[in-house]
Structure 1
Amino acid sequence: MRLRLLAFAAPMVLLAACATTSEGPADPGVATAAADTAYGMFLAGNAALAEGRSDEAARFLDMARAQSGDESTVAERAFTAALLAGEISKAAQLAPDGPAASEPGKRMGRLTKAVESIATGKGKIAQEQLAGDAIGFPHRSAAALLAPWAAAQAGDVEASLVRPQVRGDPTVDYFGQLGQAFLYERARRYDEAETDFKAITGSESPSELTVLAYGGFLERRGRRADAIKLYDAGLGRSPSSVGLKAARARAAAGKSAPAAPSVKEGAALAMLAPAATMIAAKQGQIGLAYLRLALRLDPQRNDAWLMVGDFLQGAGDVSGARAAYARPKPGSPEYGAAQAKLAWSYQQEGDKATAVKLARAAAATGDADARLTLSDLLRANEDYEESVRLLGELIGEARTPDWRLYYARGAALSQMGRWSEAEADLEAALKLRPDEPELLNFLGYTWIDRGERLKEAMAMVEKAVASNPRSGAMIDSLGWAHYRLGDYKAAVEKLEQAVELEAGDPEINNHLGDAYWMVGRKDEAVFQWRRVLTLKPDAKIKADAERKLASGQGPLAPKLATQ
């Protein structure tokens, strides 16, 4: 995924402005060189921004702005780059304004200035900047959630306790109530605070964030037993939660309760929900900007750093992602997850040794999720025996059965050829999580590939595809089921869809080649098998494709199964 660029036009005349002084045109040679330099900086900045390299983009575009003297178009682009790079003070200085600035740029600029005001302790100014409709769509929700915290910093207690509302926005309703609970506590109106905390944790599956918030409040009120009960309920729903485990251990040991959030910390929390909403809505550039604003308010917000890392990793900025993943420190609840993501970034680039080294270091802390990550990496690197051993330890230690552990161990055992044990684990996982698409697909596909329990397997894969209709892997399983049942026409149809979605997957391309051969499309089959060899297949798939190409006889006659 690449960062979506804001609409922009850059006529040469804007950049050539640096070639003219108040006393008239400069020397033509000097003017041309200056214009070329400014334009070169502008092009380099745009290229860096398009590729997700926000730090470089900010540097190049700011140089282009300074050299060209343009304080509108190029400055707006420099503002965007600085914001995405996390240089919020700089971005606030460059915030677009005036008739030449775009309306979207001005709205984001106003929000940035308000955040910078809160970050520098200027609550009254921030309150004015967030008032009314100055910050409109699509930032209205973020502004509404920030406003009470600006009021609190300004000393306007009554305004800080007004629950924010944006019509039709459940995110503002939910996180506005969470903020109100904290602000009631800040105002020492504890009964009203608890009413809000109870409301946001009263559903069947409250978020971990709100459970930790209410539990912290209970601990601060000296009600450790109630907090432990709340954490236990949360762990019953999410037994592997590092944050809940740490909170329960703290409360049980009678250690100091976590402090209530400061104004800046509360404002940072308020920015996280809109950030996640924007990223989920494919508005990634805005989501990243919100995360950067949150981190300006609270640089220790580790969950925000993980979200930044995930976004940059997806955008292709590997170095930026690694820098973000490196921010959580040992001992923090997010450290294990951060190290796991860091390890996988190296694994994906083919540096398996570094990946496993990082994963082992994280696992050495004893963190269950870090140990699970190590087992996953070992399985990916075909060290199945150690992976199975680690997973067995985790299954034995779990307070409640975790389907993920059985699924992972079943997958590793399957690769080792220990199918009866693998099948038992996979069925145990399915019993715990009967609607999980990945699990349905894995077990269903394996049965299909083995020619076993075809009717049941077909139904499982169809259910998985219905849940994830854009998953090439799942549609491949369905296509292969049709192949194994001898319905080659249907197999071709599904496998073509799968290849469209996962064009670089060697196994799916290999399956499509087999299906083409069986319907008489032999030239296309040969093309697919040749393509398989360009896609870094594993040894088994490579040998199969090479055999078919060398023999000219196509796939081995499938042993058809009946439903």
Structure 2
Amino acid sequence: MPIARSLPSLRVLAALLPMAALAACATDGTSPTTRPTPTASAAPAPSRPSVAPDEATTYGLFLAGREAMAQGAAGDAAAYFGAAAQSGGGGPGDGGAGLISERAFFAALMAGDVRKAATLAPAAGDANADPEKARLGALVRGVEALAEDNGKQALAILKGPEVGYPHKAAASLVIPWAAAAAGDVDGSVIHTVLPGDPIDQFYANLSQARLFERAKRYDEAETHYKALIAAGDPGAMASQSYGAMLERRKRAADAVAVYQAALNRFPDSADLQDALARAKAHKSPPPMLSIKEGASEALIAPAAALMVQHQSEYALAYLHLALRLNPGQDEAWMLAGDCLNAMGDSDGAREAYARLKPGSDRYITARNKMAWTYQNGDDHAGALKLARETLSASPENQEAAVNLADLLRANEQYEDSAKILDKVIAAQGDHVDWRLLYARAASLEEAGHWQDAERDLQTALKQRPDEPELLNFLAYSWIDRGERLQEALGMVQKAVDANPQSGAMLDSLGWAYFRLGDFKTAVAKLEDAVVLEPADPDVNNHLGDAYWRVGRKTEADYQWRRVLILQPSAKLKAEVETKLKSGLDGVGPAAVASQ
């Protein structure tokens, strides 16, 4: 049913990628909620490759490295490629020693061994080197020099001609911090312009404000912080940095005003709430970021942008550079985990999440993401066990509770899911988040408590009357029950207008026309839906029903048979098998819908 497909995870109530929020803020000024992705570690320890070539030969080592890389075993690949490069030989048809060395460099970087990668990085002048890898190599060498406290060398490399597209933007974000490390105060506060990339530009501007404070040019720092806040301040990052500077300047009252203003825009920010309490109590403010910490945080921006572009390998490379500068950067570990998970490395994802320890404000999020790596790996018992342990250790944590409810719903334990959400909703009082009501409605509906689910949806719609997900859920439920069909049609049309690329919502619209007996229009809408959701068994089933009603019985038969190869539920499978035997002749639309 389309509702289940379009249901957003309530894990969004807790931890969102700050950079994803930044990306959205660049376009519409809001902080979106997105389903966090189960992620991975920046330093996986995969098993040895299954291929066992003659490792005594350079080419055998090369083949072993290539196989290890294909299996996601970057650490093994780096060892194989490194040994092959040291042997001095080359592989026939594989580019010789230059290619082997280049692959050893990239494998080491993927494994998180930045120091080794810097020694293997290809030179820009090497005619056999991939220019893009050579430019990445220069960035790696520059960051490694900064990590080794050689600011002047880092600055020279990063400002040099070897670092070019597509890695120039990342280098530009690190250059001011390298200048500070080299003692070039004026160079550290030069305004960095990165046209066309609002995420990177925000971080460049934030770095400049922070570096003005480091240079003790406080008035200029304050001016830059105020400009960032006036421009929208995604995630309240500028507000937090500005407030912390004010606290360090013994201006606690001004800091309180900054934090309070930010909380008016981001009322659920635990970081802002903690900062406000600290400033009001005149407790010790957080220290100013070190040069390495600042450079590390700056590198997260281009990494996040690459993640949005689905360039997981380069994103992971940048995150490893950030971690080389600041191994305790929790956000970098979280994002590195996301990258590794996207690359199919669930074990690495769990290792990355395990880097966050109790006490970290991201610890619960990391545990929740780790649980979903088990769920998505078909270890449902392991996922639920981990989620229950997390909630048991923090019984008042709503994020942990919502995550467990999510997993229970995913595992068809609907009654238990609703009970968990009952407690969370009760704790929120009169200002309950509409997404909680939406999630509980999904569990209640599946558990057979439609009236309670309907009540939650209508309550949620009072908060968000134009929310497409709510409109679609309630409208589809009415359509399926043959209730308020004209009203439901208007609601789902409104949802489709707001989200025309949603296959689930188009399916709901087509199903509404089917229930109303307008089979020709139903076919048109459902064909559009199946283009967007070709692997969804419900959409294919609905299209098959509509085809039958307009006399296209061969196509109906095809769609129903397709349903059977798309992992339908047991109930849907039985219904489709019946239709393949007897079709829909003599069965009215309402009876079809009731199935």
On whether the aligned pair clears a TM of 0.5, the verdict is yes
The question of 1:111 aligning with 2:139 is answered yes
CA distance in 1: counterparts of 2:133 and 2:159, whole angstroms: 18
Residue 179 of structure 1 deviates from its aligned partner by: 0.5
Distance 1:385 1:550, change over 3 A: same
Distance 1:270 1:58, change over 3 A: same
The C-alpha deviation readout for 1:29-60, integer Å capped at 9, x for no partner, is: x9997255135225414523xxx543344334
| Matched residue, 2:101 | 75
CA distance in 1: counterparts of 2:107 and 2:73, whole angstroms: 9
| Matched residue, 2:79 | 59
| Matched residue, 2:471 | 440
Query: What one-letter code is carried by the residue in structure 2 that aligns with 1:83?
Result: L
Match of 1:392 among 422, 431, 439: 422
1:403–1:432: 8 Å Cα contact kept in structure 2? yes
The question of 1:372 aligning with 2:402 is answered yes
CA distance in 2: counterparts of 1:433 and 1:229, whole angstroms: 30
CA distance in 2: counterparts of 1:491 and 1:174, whole angstroms: 47
CA distance in 1: counterparts of 2:274 and 2:417, whole angstroms: 26
CA distance in 1: counterparts of 2:163 and 2:517, whole angstroms: 61
Query: How many residue pairs end up in the alignment?
Result: 530
| Matched residue, 2:114 | 88
| Matched residue, 1:7 | none
The C-alpha deviation readout for 1:360-384, integer Å capped at 9, x for no partner, is: 2222323222221112112222333
The C-alpha deviation readout for 1:191-220, integer Å capped at 9, x for no partner, is: 222222222122456323333323333333
Distance 1:374 1:346, change over 3 A: same
CA distance in 2: counterparts of 1:179 and 1:526, whole angstroms: 61
The question of 1:38 aligning with 2:66 is answered no
Match of 1:403 among 434, 456, 459: 434
Residue 226 of structure 1 deviates from its aligned partner by: 4.2
Residue 404 of structure 1 deviates from its aligned partner by: 1.5
| Matched residue, 1:24 | none
2:195–2:201: 8 Å Cα contact kept in structure 1? no
The C-alpha deviation readout for 1:128-170, integer Å capped at 9, x for no partner, is: 1111543222222211111110011111111111121134443
Match of 1:120 among 148, 155, 158: 148
1:44–1:60: 8 Å Cα contact kept in structure 2? no
The question of 1:190 aligning with 2:218 is answered yes
2:151–2:182: 8 Å Cα contact kept in structure 1? yes
Listed as ranges, the matches of 1:131-530 within 5 Å are 131-203=159-231, 206-252=234-280, 254-364=282-392, 365=394, 366-398=396-428, 400-530=431-561
- Which segment drifts farther, 273-282 or 484-493? 484-493
Specify which structure has the bigger relative contact order, considering alpha-carbon pairs within 8 angstroms and separated by 6 or more residues: 2
Q: Which runs of 5+ in 2 are unaligned?
A: 1-36, 38-52, 91-95
CA distance in 2: counterparts of 1:231 and 1:368, whole angstroms: 23
CA distance in 2: counterparts of 1:541 and 1:491, whole angstroms: 20
CA distance in 2: counterparts of 1:237 and 1:412, whole angstroms: 31
- Which segment drifts farther, 258-267 or 184-193? 184-193
Query: What one-letter code is carried by the residue in structure 1 that aligns with 2:138?
Result: R
1:41–1:64: 8 Å Cα contact kept in structure 2? no
Distance 1:251 1:350, change over 3 A: farther
Distance 1:274 1:204, change over 3 A: closer
Q: What SS does the corresponding residue of 2:590 show, helix, strand or coil?
A: coil
CA distance in 2: counterparts of 1:387 and 1:232, whole angstroms: 35
Distance 1:259 1:504, change over 3 A: same
CA distance in 1: counterparts of 2:586 and 2:444, whole angstroms: 27
CA distance in 2: counterparts of 1:422 and 1:226, whole angstroms: 46
CA distance in 2: counterparts of 1:33 and 1:54, whole angstroms: 21
1:445–1:461: 8 Å Cα contact kept in structure 2? yes
Residue 242 of structure 1 deviates from its aligned partner by: 4.0
CA distance in 2: counterparts of 1:274 and 1:283, whole angstroms: 11
CA distance in 1: counterparts of 2:324 and 2:398, whole angstroms: 31
- Which segment drifts farther, 53-62 or 142-151? 53-62
Q: What SS does the corresponding residue of 1:141 show, helix, strand or coil?
A: helix
CA distance in 2: counterparts of 1:360 and 1:134, whole angstroms: 51
CA distance in 1: counterparts of 2:586 and 2:80, whole angstroms: 55
The C-alpha deviation readout for 1:281-330, integer Å capped at 9, x for no partner, is: 33333222212211111122112222222222222221122222222111
Distance 1:348 1:170, change over 3 A: closer
2:54–2:60: 8 Å Cα contact kept in structure 1? no
Residue 518 of structure 1 deviates from its aligned partner by: 2.0
Q: Which runs of 5+ in 1 are unaligned?
A: 2-29
Residue 335 of structure 1 deviates from its aligned partner by: 1.0
CA distance in 2: counterparts of 1:120 and 1:382, whole angstroms: 52
Distance 1:410 1:266, change over 3 A: same
Query: What one-letter code is carried by the residue in structure 1 that aligns with 2:67?
Result: A
CA distance in 1: counterparts of 2:177 and 2:329, whole angstroms: 17
CA distance in 2: counterparts of 1:235 and 1:378, whole angstroms: 33
Residue 343 of structure 1 deviates from its aligned partner by: 1.0
1:465–1:475: 8 Å Cα contact kept in structure 2? yes
Distance 1:91 1:35, change over 3 A: closer
Residue 241 of structure 1 deviates from its aligned partner by: 3.5
Query: What one-letter code is carried by the residue in structure 2 that aligns with 1:85?
Result: A
CA RMSD of aligned residues (A): 3.0
CA distance in 1: counterparts of 2:106 and 2:520, whole angstroms: 51
Residue 501 of structure 1 deviates from its aligned partner by: 3.6
CA distance in 1: counterparts of 2:177 and 2:204, whole angstroms: 11
